[in-house]
Structure 1
Amino acid sequence: MLALNKGRYRARFAATAADVEAAQRLRTLTFRGDPEAPLDRDTFDAICDHVLVEDQRDGALVCCFRMLPLAAGSEIDRSYSAQYYELSALRDFRGPMVEMGRFCIHPDRRDADILRVAWGAMTRYVDENGVEMLFGCSSFHGTDAERYHDAFAILKERHLAPVRWLPRVKAPKVFRFAQALGLAPDARRAMLVMPPLLRTYLLMGGWVSDHAVVDTQMNTLHVFTGLEIRAIPAARKRLLRATAG
C-alpha cells in the first residue's frame, strides 16, 4: 500500500468508501466551485485507485487524484480520456500505462509542497509497478479559449505529441489550436495561465494533443497529455525519486 510522509503532508491510497467520497467532495469544490453542488463522481471511480494527500497536522484533505492502470496500449479504450479523444495510435504502445485523472488541490491551499508530495507518490507508484507511460486530460478552467491563447501557442510551438502517438479529434466541440494559432506567444503570460499539473508534465518532457476539448459539463478546456517515463530527464528523475523516498 502506498504511504508517503513528507514534512506536513502524507499521501496514501483511499481505503474506504468514505475516503473516496471525501475525494469526490474535494473535486466538487475545486471543479464546480460550490461544495453544495452534486458530488463529482462517475463510473470510473469504481475502477480507479484514489490517492489522497492530507495535512498531517489536522488530517485535512488538500489534494487528490485517481489512477487507472492499463497493461498496455491495447486497453486504451477503457480510459476516461478515450471518451473525448480518438486514441487508436496509442493502442500500439506496448508497456504498462497509467491514466491520472481528476487531479485537484484545495483552492485555499497554496503550498507548493502539496504538488511535490503528489508527484512523489506518483513516482513511487510508477517505479514499483514498472509504468512506462502516464497520460490524462490536463484542464484549463473555463471554456473561453481566448484567455489562454499564449499558453496554447506555447503548446503548439514546443509540446505537440509525436506523430506516432498523436490523438485525433473525437469530441463534438474542440478548439484546434495547432491550426488556429499563428501568433508568437508571450512565454511569461503563457506560464501564468498554464495549469500547474500541465506545467509539471511539460517540465518532465510531456506532450499534448493538437486540440483542446471544450467540456461544458465540467466548465473546462482540456488537452490530452502524455509522458513517456523513459523521456524524463535524468536530473528530473533524481528530484522526483528524492521526494518519493
Structure 2
Amino acid sequence: MQTAMPQGHTRLGSTLVTGPATGPQAPSLAGPIGPLGRIGTLEVRLARNEAEIEAAQEIRYRIFYDELGARSSLDQIDRRDSDRFDPLCDHLLVLDNSLTGPEHRRIVGTYRLLRQEMATAAGGFYSEDEFELRRLVARHPDLRFLELGRSCVLPQYRSKRTIEALWQGIWAYLNHYGIDVMVGCASFPGIDPAAHAEALTYMAHHCRTSADWDVRAVGRRYHPMAMMPVEEVNPKAAITAMPPLVKGYLRIGARIGDGCVIDRDFSTVDVFIVMPVKEIAARYISYYGGDGQSYAA
C-alpha cells in the first residue's frame, strides 16, 4: 500500500464544516485503548484524551490549510482543523515512539473514524453533503457502516511503513467493532473535473459499484465522471493519473459511486469510495487482517 495516500494526506469527506463542537460526546475513549498495530518505532492506537485529539487537529490544519490551501469562512485562531463531527469520532493516531516528549507530541499521522451509530447521533455522516450516503445505508439495514476521513501524515513520514501501520490499525478497529462497510470520499486536486477526464472516465466505466452498493452525488452538486468516449481512454495512462489514494483503494477492491463533486473549500474534485469488507481482496485481508485480529480484543 505504498500509494494509499496522495502525497501522504487526503481529506475524505465533504464541504468543510467549522465552528464549535456540539452534540453528544463520542464513546471513543471507551473503545480499544491499547495499541492497534506496530511497525518498528511506529505505534497505532486511538486518541485517549483531548490533548491528543487537539494535536491531531493541529496536524490536519498544517496539512490542509498551510500546505494544501484549504479555506474557511471562519477565523481559526487556534490553528486547528475542527468541526462538529470531531467529538463524535474516534481519532486513529500514528505515533513515533523514537521521539521524545509527551505522547501527544509524538503523533505523526491521523485518520478520523465515524461509526454509523455516532453518525446517527450527529444527524448524518459528514460526506452526506456531497453524496447520497443515507440511501445506501438504508438499503443495508443489517450492516454496520464506518466513514473514513481527515487522513493525513506529516511529510517526513509519508512512506509505505506509515501507510501499513495505519491499515493495521484500521483492520483492528474493523474487527473490534464488527464493521461491515467502509465508505468515504477520495480527492483529485483542483476544481476542474475536465483536468482529470481520462481517469474519471475510466473509473466511470470500469470501477463503478454494483447496483446494490450504488451511491450518487447529490443532485445540486452532481458532475458526470464520463467526460470522453471510453474508446479514447488509455487505461494505463488513466490509472497513472489517479491520486495514489484512489489507486490504493481500488487495488484493495473498493468501487466508485456515481458522479463526482467539486469541493471549493478544499480545492478538490471528490469521488465516493465504497468498500464492503467481505469484498475486499483476499490478499489484503490476509496481509492486514491477521495483525488486525490480534490487536482487536
Same topology, TM > 0.5: yes
Give the corresponding residue for 1:147: 195
- Cross-structure match for 2:87: 46
Please give the alpha-carbon distance, in whole angstroms, between the structure 1 residues aligned to 2:198 and 2:272: 18
Q: Name the amino acid aligned to 2:50.
A: A
Tell me which protein shows more strand as a share of its residues. Answer: 1
Query: Conserved in 2, the CA contact under 8 Å of 1:116 and 1:243?
Result: no
Is contact 1:63-1:106 (8 Å) kept? yes
Contact 1:136 1:225 survives alignment (8 Å): yes
Letter in 2 for 1:159: C
The structural deviation recorded for 1:83 is 1.7
Bigger mean CA deviation after superposition, 63-72 or 135-144: 63-72
**Once superposed, what is the RMSD of the aligned Cα atoms?**
2.6
Question: Please, which of 279, 282, 285 is the counterpart of residue 231 of structure 1?
Answer: 279
Q: Post-superposition shift, 1:72?
A: 11
In the TM superposition, residue 196 of structure 1 has moved relative to its aligned partner by: 2.9
Q: Distance in 1 between matches of 2:206 and 2:68?
A: 37
Structure 2 stretches of 5 or more lacking a match? Answer: 1-32, 100-104
Counterpart among 166, 174, 199 of residue 118 in structure 1: 166
1:78 partner SS? coil
What is the 5 A alignment of 1:118-137? Answer: 118-137=166-185
**How many residues matched?**
244
**Separation in 1 of the partners of 2:249 and 2:222?**
22
Shift in Å, 1:73: 10
Identical columns (%): 25
Relative to structure 1, the CA distance from residue 74 to residue 67 in structure 2 (aligned partners, 3 Å threshold; closer, same or farther) is closer
Give the 3-state SS of the residue equivalent to 1:224 in structure 2.
strand
Q: Tell me by how many angstroms 1:227 deviates.
A: 0.4
**Unaligned ranges ≥5, structure 1:** none
Q: Which residue pairs with 2:48 in the alignment? A: 15
| SS of corresponding position for 1:134 | strand
* 1:25 matched to 2:58: yes
Quick one: distance in 2 between partners of 1:240 and 1:231? Answer: 15
**Counterpart pick for 1:91 among 138, 148, 160:** 138
SS of the equivalent of 1:15 reads: coil
Q: Is the 8 A contact 1:76 1:82 kept in 2?
A: no
Which of 220, 224, 247 matches 1:199?
247
Larger RCO (CA within 8 A; separation ≥ 6): 2
After superposition, the Cα gap between the structure-2 partners of 1:8 and 1:51, relative to the gap in structure 1 and judged at 3 Å, is same
Q: Is the 8 A contact 1:10 1:55 kept in 2?
A: yes
2-structure distance, mates of 1:187, 1:23: 37
Output one character per residue of 1:127-160: Cα deviation in whole Å (capped at 9) or x when no partner.
1221110001112222132332232123112211
What does the per-residue CA deviation read over 1:45-68, in whole Å, with 9 as the maximum and x for residues that have no partner? 110000111222216432211111
| Displacement of 1:71 | 4.9
Paired residue secondary structure (2:238): helix
Contact 2:189 2:269 in 1 (8 A): yes
Secondary structure, aligned partner of 2:51: helix
Corresponding position of 2:157: 109
Kindly report which structure 2 residues correspond to 1:72-83, keeping only aligned pairs within 5 A, or say none. 78-83=124-129
CA shift, 1:2, in A, is 4.5
1:100 aligns with 2:148: yes
Instruction: Tell me the CA shift for residue 242 of structure 1.
Output: 4.1
The CA distance in 2 between the partners of 1:171 and 1:46, in whole Å, is 29
- In structure 2, the CA distance between the partners of 1:2 and 1:174, relative to structure 1 (3 Å rule), is farther
Q: SS of the counterpart of 1:122?
A: helix
C-alpha offsets along residues 71-125 of structure 1, whole Å, 9 cap, x if unaligned?
5998896111112112313312121111111112223433111111111100011
- Does the 8 Å CA contact 2:253/2:275 hold for their aligned counterparts? yes
Q: CA deviation at 1:171?
A: 5.8
Q: Work out which of the residue numbers 102, 111, 127 in structure 2 matches 1:65.
A: 111
Tell me the TM-score normalised to structure 1 length.
0.88
Q: Equivalent residue of 2:155, what SS?
A: coil
